[in-house]
Amino acid sequence: MSRKTVLVTGASAGIGAASARLLAANGYDVAIGYNSDRAGAEAVAADVEAAGGKALLLKADVGNPAEIEQMFNTLTATFPRLDALVNNAGIVAPQATVAEMEAERLTQIFQVNVIGAFLVARNAVRLMSTDSGGAGGAIVNISSVAARLASPNLYVDYAASKAAIDTLTQGLSIEVATQGIRVNAIRPGIIETDIHAKGGEPERAARMVPMIPMRRTGSAQEVAEAVLWLLSDAASYVTGSIMDVSGGR
């Protein structure tokens, strides 16, 4: 049986890296999207190949539309088709209140987390859609429980950008439901990744444990398991859904 092809953006660390590795172990060739962490991306590529998959490194800043176009051009020159997308790349800025946020910060957050995610999804749909000669496929967008909790005094901008991902998921899923494409999202909760350090509080995950009903943080692997299921034929009647992987939070 031939391997499927998946594009994972933001795949050099965290949830993206865990998803890339797990998908490779379950029959996928993996296009590894990354921006600055070349070493992390190469480590993921080595693991993909060790699992029997083909790995393709794709350097692109998803905040730059021209780089997204180049990423897809390279992808289509290497792989005969695209079967799945894990739309994961995203950024967070240091903690701040809305009153403290400058336009430059907001522009960067929304350029990457919203516009970039839209454009990546758009290009994937163009390749997958049965209306344009594609074979269909599945998309998983990575949102956050911040989309419904709003993250006051931390990063309302990030939370708002993820709320946009939820809306993208639901709207796009309806648009492409007759084109052989399923679109779902995952809202991770407090997961042990370096995003907390990027937000200015490396110990946030540990500090938040008492507020999580399961009284523990999650792992990137646990999120990746949900990604794998949503992309699989086991989820063939699931589209437009947003799955919380959050320990009950």
- Give the torsion through C-alpha atoms of 139, 144, 149, 154, to 10 deg: -140
How many Cα atoms within 13 Å fall on the side-chain side of residue 202?
Answer: 0
158 is catalytic: yes
CA distance 120 to 214: 34
CA distances from residue 52 to 16, 49, 55, 225 in whole angstroms, order as listed = 19, 5, 9, 19
- CA 247 remoteness from chain centre: 19
**List 28, 155, 158, 237, catalytic entry:** 158
The CA-to-CA distance between both ends of the chain, in Å, stands at: 40
User: Across the chain, which distance is largest between two alpha carbons, in Å?
Assistant: 55
Which contacts qualify for 163-167: CB closer than 8 Å, 24 or more apart? Answer: 164/110, 164/113, 164/114, 164/117, 165/87, 165/113, 165/114, 165/117, 165/141, 166/242
Exposed (0-12), middle (13-18) or buried (19+): which is 201, by Cβ within 10 Å?
A: middle
Residues marked as catalytic = 158
